[in-house]
Structure 1
Amino acid sequence: MLTGWRAQGQSRGLAALSLKNRGDLVRRFMSFTGEYPWAWTAEDLESWSSDLRDRGRALTTIRGYQAALRKYCEYVTDPAYGWGELCWERFGTHPVQICHEWNTVAHVAEVEASPAVRPLTRDEIEQLFDYADERVAAACQSGRKGWLAAWRDSAMFKIAYAYGLRRRELARLETVDFYRNPKAPEFDRCGVCHVRWGKAVRGGHPRRRSVLTTMPWAPQVLQEWLEIRAEYGDVAGRWMWPTERGAVVSPAHAGRRFAEYRDAAGLPSELHLHCLRHSYVTHLLEDGFDPFFVQQQVGHRWGGSTALYSGVSSDFKNKALRASLDQLAGGSMEGF
């Protein structure tokens, strides 16, 4: 059954890692129930889901697990594959759908992230980057071996913010992904960041987009890092964020490093690497960039997704309110 389900997923174009994770999930569920799929019941799903809740799993995680099991049950109960008939002949029973609307987590909220997760303020961005710079300076002065990694991490976090990148997009950057923008020649070869590993639609390839440089300090960070990066030698290849062992910084490692820097800089623990992307959206909107331009920059298909990312400050909203009220007041006077 699992082999056939995997083949079906491959036919749909699902990624190898997704297929592996789905298969592992089915095996874990089978281990929990102690039963084969043709003996599973809705009660088994409910007991398993309750156990996950008791162990502190998030509702979004549980819903993802349930969705995978629903897909598996759809496969094994589909008459086109013949599993039901085969199980009936051999075991006197057959698999059934165990995931229903009344025993699975519903997707009822547009935003399910923790309310504590938010964009960093400009002061917090400065606080984080100041700490990163201090860490580089201290490592260079002490002559420690880790000075190169400290410089890499500092540049990596700044570029994540300066271009509004997701973790995977950031980790998969190469030196050849930056280009000149003829409309912004002052940025030299750092006018455009070509993102080649964007978030993929299910069963599709990673989506690409071009992110224009909007923050004047970003090219200097890039150019300095590209010069320092030469210290890695040939092991770096074309990766933007190499390691001394010839590997590349992974998305998970980037997240862990951010958490380390965040804690050391004294920032709230609910902030994570993806919050830099939220900060990018928020600060561009506060600086007066057109919302559709921001949407294109971060690769959102719908403007509503970009709006969910933003958390414009009260100061920005108060300025916008004052400008609108002054405009309305001026117009109303002209009407009398």
Structure 2
Amino acid sequence: MAKIPGSAGLVLVEGVRYLDEPVAVFEGMLTGWENQQQSRLLASTTIVPRVALVRRFTEFAGSYPWAWTAADIEDFTVSLTSETGGRLAPATIRGYHLVLRMFCDYLTDPRYEWLRQCRDRFGQIPSQVCHEWNTVAHLADYEGRPGRRPFSYDEVQQLFDCLDNRVERIATSGRKGALAALRDAQMIKTAYAYGLRRNELCRLELVDLRPNPHVSEWGTYGSLHVRYGKATRGSAPRRRTVLTVPEFDWVVPGMRQWVEQARPILNAADHPALWVTERLTRVDGGFLERRFSRIRAEAGLSADLTLHCLRHSYVTHLIEFGYPERFVQEQVGHHYASTTAIYASVSNDFTKQTLRTALHRVYARAPKPTTTEANR
């Protein structure tokens, strides 16, 4: 009978005793699990961190999988919540629990023969040590930090004013860095104008600039083709086209200035990336985050406002502009409408205006009673 990918018989020699049997069997388990995941076409970027976590947990527990207990999971969780540098986010810990649960499911599935191998070699068998009472439950749709929120309109303007002033200050001082400052300003504005994630923004290339046939005056800046959208676990990046919306048409002159005037000065004609450094390398996410943090501090904005908060602002402001939820969902690349709803946080001004509109719609239709009618 043919063995399925991940079977113990494909990585261990039947009937052979290894010099260091526990190590050999454990390494065979990891290799088999990798094979099983590869057969599901999961990406290496998904598999490698999972295997690393299993190794980390094994070292923490001080025992191999056939000797793990539920108490080991509980102790591991406690250690994660008390690590130097602060408590890990619940979503992160839940992700760890999910990986360990999947590994135990793999080991305890009879089709992969690890139960028999461990029984014959060690007199013990693996068990599922992740249960509903010792793992993090997914009770809330959003588990991010409460302090993180969309930028208000005034805060967006404050940030953009700081970006523009920074470019002008460096340019007039005669110091180097004016092109970099212009690039940073346009990157941050583009993140907001199209609701992009950090990786989506950094991975943009010149060929991703697309026209919108309905707005010819925008030229090739009518839309962005995002080829490196956030992937669902183990799958390829999701693609989408993000349209330039009229309320954010101010981004078009800025893009033209960067692409047609500033970028050529760097002699980057042969480089495919939209955002390049003075050394003709692609701007990476870590650099952008550090630069954003510095500019945010210069603008006097709260440290809770991250680059990703601009994406939240984009969703919120599109909804306030009256765009249908389905359109907003497609623009930002959310698989579920409920995810888009989490991002939305309409302003007080918008809610007041909505109420005023409703009051006018309901009460303005009925004619006011005359004095005679009122006295009846």
Quick check: 1:32 aligned with 2:63? Answer: no
Paired AA for residue 127 in structure 1? Q
Aligned with residue 165 of structure 1, among 166, 177, 196: 196
Quick check: 1:265 aligned with 2:299? Answer: yes
Quick check: 1:42 aligned with 2:76? Answer: no
- 2:267 is paired with a residue whose SS is helix
Aligned with residue 153 of structure 2, among 122, 136, 148: 122
Quick check: 1:143 aligned with 2:174? Answer: yes
More moved, 158-167 vs 306-315:
306-315
Question: Alpha-carbon deviations, 1:64-89, whole Å to 9, x = none?
Answer: 11111111111111111111111111
* Bigger CA radius of gyration: 2
Name the CA shift for 1:333/1:81 in 2 (closer, same or farther; >3 Å).
Answer: farther
Are 2:268 and 2:276, in contact at CA under 8 Å, matched by a contact in 1? Answer: no
Paired AA for residue 189 in structure 1? T
After TM superposition, the structure 1 = structure 2 runs for residues 1-336 of structure 1, keeping only pairs within 5 Å, are: 1-55=29-83, 56-214=87-245, 215-226=248-259, 227-234=261-268, 237-332=271-366
Q: Distance in 2 between matches of 1:329 and 1:156?
A: 47
Are 1:171 and 1:241, in contact at CA under 8 Å, matched by a contact in 2? Answer: yes
Q: Distance in 2 between matches of 1:92 and 1:290?
A: 62
Q: Distance in 2 between matches of 1:128 and 1:22?
A: 39
TM-superposed CA distance for 1:332, in Å, is 5.0
Normalised TM-score (structure 2): 0.85
Q: Distance in 2 between matches of 1:273 and 1:173?
A: 17
Q: Distance in 2 between matches of 1:152 and 1:248?
A: 12
Where does the alignment leave 5 or more consecutive residues of structure 2 unmatched?
1-28
Question: Alpha-carbon deviations, 1:43-84, whole Å to 9, x = none?
Answer: 011001011111221211111111111111111111111111
TM-superposed CA distance for 1:146, in Å, is 2.7
TM-superposed CA distance for 1:235, in Å, is 7.7
Normalised TM-score (structure 1): 0.95
TM-superposed CA distance for 1:225, in Å, is 0.8
C-alpha RMSD of the superposition: 1.8
Are 1:235 and 1:245, in contact at CA under 8 Å, matched by a contact in 2? Answer: no
- 1:197 is paired with a residue whose SS is strand
Are 1:236 and 1:246, in contact at CA under 8 Å, matched by a contact in 2? Answer: no
* Residue of structure 1 equivalent to 2:26: none
Question: Alpha-carbon deviations, 1:270-315, whole Å to 9, x = none?
Answer: 1111111111111122222222222221122332222221111111
**In percent, how many aligned pairs have the same letter?**
50
Q: How many pairs does the alignment contain? A: 335
Are 1:236 and 1:242, in contact at CA under 8 Å, matched by a contact in 2? Answer: no
Where does the alignment leave 5 or more consecutive residues of structure 1 unmatched?
none
